[in-house]
Amino acid sequence: MTSALIRAGLGAAFLALLCCFTGLPSAVAQTQTRNFAASESVDWYYATTFGTGVYKIGDRTVTMLRLPFEREWREAEDDTWGIRLKLPVTLGFQTLSNAFEDVLNRNVATVSVMPGIELEKELHPNWWVKPTASYGAAQDLLSGARSTLYEVGVRSLWSRAFYRVDFSLGNALLYAGNVAQDGLTQHLGVFSTGFNFLLPAGGVFLDRAANVGVHFVHYAFFNRIDFLVDETSRRSVSQQYEFAMTVGTYRPIQLMGFELQRIGVGVRIGEGLTAVRLVTGFLY
């Protein structure tokens, strides 16, 4: 009976994931051509929220390091919402191969801070809803270009155990973007759906039961999101897909002030953009 439930759950998740790939209209990356200033080269919002890793589009390579500082202000209870305060700091280095004449314009170093608040409450058994809002700023340390960043929306997470497999279904609907002082301003909607499977690893790490995990996430960008390909062209992307594998423990580990429960590698692809990033948890 339990094995049948597992097979049914895995089959349903696979079918839903397949629908993400085949049921949506196929998106074709669009390329704009004109002369862009160096200050327009920064992917302000995407780079800030991407995480820690490297992504590449065209001749452009971007390396990001994200420090996800946060604090639980109040724990969720039956009649009260939980409150979590966030203060992520992101450092980035972006290289455009042969894109601009001056080396200071070809290499872009950015820093961004995007403080925010997230509420959370279990509205029904196993189903958590998490309204969120963030507002911050980013700056290119070399050219001085700046941009404000914002994100507002809601995330949800439904989880259930099937025998020894912990299954989670996550969704997020966000309105987000950036307003650049000198450069490209973007406003877009972001809708994502993800599946996560967590299984016992059959071992112990630091006196904690170990596990292995895998997740699939589909991202859809409404209004499309623009990336600079070279000094004259930008590419618009509307969809991306991520696959990740992790190892971790069922109880979190405290490491250098951060709470770590799993770690792994994710690969993100879609419409000419390829990325590899560090994964420390399920997005939702």
Q: Please name every residue paired with 23 in a beta bridge, in sequence order, or none if there are none.
A: none
Tokens at 118, concatenated = 């997230």
Average pLDDT score over residue span 186-198: 95
Instruction: Work out the widest C-alpha separation in the chain, in whole angstroms.
Output: 66
Tokens at 151, concatenated = 């994100």
Instruction: Give, in order, the Cα–Cα distances in Å from 13 to each of 17, 167, 230, 280.
Output: 6, 9, 39, 22
Q: Where are the beta strands (DSSP E) in the chain?
A: 30-33, 53-57, 60-74, 82-96, 107-113, 116-124, 127-140, 146-162, 165-180, 186-205, 208-228, 233-255, 258-270, 273-279
Least confident of 44-48, 58-62, 97-101, 161-165: 97-101
Residue 280 DSSP SS3: coil
What's the pLDDT tens digit per position in 63-84? 899 998 999 999 998 889 999 9
35 or 179, higher pLDDT: 179
27 or 72, higher pLDDT: 72
Tell me the pLDDT band of 9, cut-offs 50, 70 and 90: very low
Helix H, strand E, coil C: the string for 256-268 is CCEEEEEEEEEEE
Hey, which of 51-60, 174-183, 219-228, 235-244 has the most confident mean pLDDT? 235-244
pLDDT at residue 244, rounded to an integer: 97
pTM: 0.81
